[in-house]
Structure 1
Amino acid sequence: MSWVEDIERRSRALEAERLRAHAYVRAVAAAEDAGLVVGEPGSIAEEDSAGAGKAGDGPVERSLAYRSAVADVAASARLSEQSVQQRIEKAVELTTQYAQVVTALEAGEVAPQHAGVIAEAGRIIGIPGSADTSEISQRRAVYERLVLEKARTVSPNQLRPYARRIAERYALESIDDRHAREQRHRRVWLETAGDGMALLCAYLPVDRAQAIYTRLTRMAQATAQAEAAAARAAREDAQKQGTEPPVVRPRGVGEVRADLLADFLGIDFTTEDGAQIVADAAAQAESTAAGNVQGIVQVIVHADDLDPGLDPGLDPDLGLGPGLDTDMARDPDTEASSGPGARPQSTLQPELEGCGPIPADMARRIAGAATSWTEVTVNPGTGDIRKVESRVPSADQKRKLQVRDAHCRWPGCRMPGFRCDIDHTVAVQDGGETAMTNLGYLCRNHHLVKHHGGWRVVQLPDATYEWTSPTARKTRTVAESRVRFVETGEPPPF
């Protein structure tokens, strides 16, 4: 493990160096195109020779100097020019917009995947294709600091939803406006994959995509279980009768899910029966687009919401005053009833569990189709759950776990809670109680690894899990509710 850790640390440092080198390639090409000369990185000055003043009038990516540099790197590394161009664009983005992330990568504190997640989520903060203004740079700097702090303690997969939440707070354009624009790009396309296979891809609003996938998954699970049971029954009958058991390979859930999609879309709608099936399905999808998504509405109550001294328009880290449209931080629909010092309702961004922030209209549609509501009261300072109230009778502990954990508590795993086992941290046979302080979500795979793979875990009073691997490495996982609801004291600067 020490050998692996040392390799990983050196690999991350080399990746940071490669990012800086690729960014420098573009800087050199830009300087040459603009009639400048360069020496060491950071040393760029006007050229005194007759070549000065030959600056190109278009984007540097179209310049001969840049295309020549890309071709040179591609030939040297034996890569395609398109791959090199993508590397350079990524390097420029990270080194210019997220310098602290690159520094953390160089120190081995984060992985290249963390850097990719941070850059991807942060793109909504600026304006695509435009240089950052002073305001955008300030917003991005706060976003970088908050997300980088989290990145040092979680996997890239766990970082992604957190980064999206934080980026949403500092984005110039609202998710509602971006979603309305992106809807015009929804499409379906086909990619051949070899071996007689292909990828059928669809770009859809997340609520519809989630509904389709959830329905296919549930149908596939039921079908796969039925097929497995039938295969077992056939083998048992063959054993009783003394005959050769049939050779049957039940389909897995993934196979059944793909077959269900193909069977449904492959219906011959030119026939009367097929046309009626398709028409009925289309009508149902149109009328209940979000009907297959379970709506979970969380009402978060903060004690300091009643503090009249709170000014939501100021951000001490940005040093921004009223000149930055501080009225944007207030929800005009609630300003009159809430008072000038209330926290803006718009800071509580709706989310679809497992998918991140969603537009308010989409959240309302999903909530409108929900059959039950849960009100969650949390401590604003720590994110600890104070109480969970439900209007539909259910097990109190399961409700609290649904809110507190949300997904598998294994380091790096985000299997949704509804697909996980409820595990006793200390087994019942070892004296463990069936209490919130001893319960948590674990997916079936990690549940088995926990009990039989040599791992040890302790659940701390704040629901943090402290894992110890077979090689004595310690890792902590924080309850999802603490990640979601904890107050940073840094409201958006708008």
Structure 2
Amino acid sequence: LEARAQGEITRQHVYAIQDAAADLPDEAIPAFEAKALDRCRRDTVGRVKAELEILAQRMHPRSFVERHASARERRDITTRALPDGMSSLLLVAPTPVIAGIDDRMNQMATVVIDVRNAAKAAAGAGDDGARIPADILASDIRTRAQIRADIAADILLTGSPFADPTVTGDGPGTLGAIRAKIQVVVPALSLLKPDGDENSHAETADLVGYSPIDAETARAIAEACDNWWERLVTHPVTGQVLHTNGYQRTAAIDRHLRARDRHCRFPGCRLPAIRCEVDHTIDHALGGKTDVCNLAHLCQRHHSMKQFAGWKVRQLEGGILEWTSPVGTTYTDYPPTPGVHFTPDRYDPDDPRPADAAPADASDAPF
């Protein structure tokens, strides 16, 4: 500060010295400052900044090799939610690795930009050999930073690591076959495209475990490949889960099915639902959805009959199951109705309802 007050160094020099000394122990700082001031008096901050960092590393009581080995143990990758449906991904790794990633992203972005410009020129000259149509090229107005981010995301979502311990001599490993899985809770009405007003305030969707996402992004996910995205669609009023694209059911779907079915849904079977299995009416492997309209409780015996004994079942609206035996006989199983009914304790002659709506005798009431 004294050197700064006397005009020997600039404020930027002071900041550079402070930054370089940030990791030094207190006992090493005075000696470092003396050497740093001597260097700063003779050159601009832009030229001395790197030298100060090297000087600080040399003057640290622990060797750089030792400190790097310790720091390397803290390599990690973390996410942080940002406003407006965005998030950041922070990768902590050795500096040569990060520098290599940065350089590779730059080179890839340069190639994309060069190919885009060349194809645009070819299309403008009437060259029908351009691989990408001119209208598509014209719509690609991404900046270098955006291209870098898109390439990095693409590689992380679809690439295969070189260091794959599952690789065998017979073929590639299995790490590259792993696909990202996210869970998005989407209000059913948010899947409908707004009419006219593109800025319609459709209800947001929830990327479970992360943050809300906008309705347009939710619609894009819903239209994407089912093998990549697992979707949960909820009722717009009750919030009840209506279906999910994955095989696994949600707790909300299970609660709904237990309340609806109560027991095995094979005609005549009354084994409680809590002792039954939940069956996909249309097999999930054949395209059946994990949906309350495609699920029902079956005991193990009748589940096996459906799969192996030639029985067929079709689920109708309202959870009604239509069973067909191996010989073609049809049986219909309706969801149980509530077992408790409340009726008036006596007939009121002034009641405007039809006479046949009144009980014949109060003793007919269940209570």
If the TM-score is normalised by the length of the shorter chain, which range does it land in?
Answer: 0.3 to 0.5
**Going by fraction, where is helix more abundant, 1 or 2?**
1
The structure with higher relative contact order (CA 8 Å, sep 6+) is 1
Larger Rg: 2
Task: Please report the TM-score for the alignment, with normalisation by the length of structure 1.
Answer: 0.29
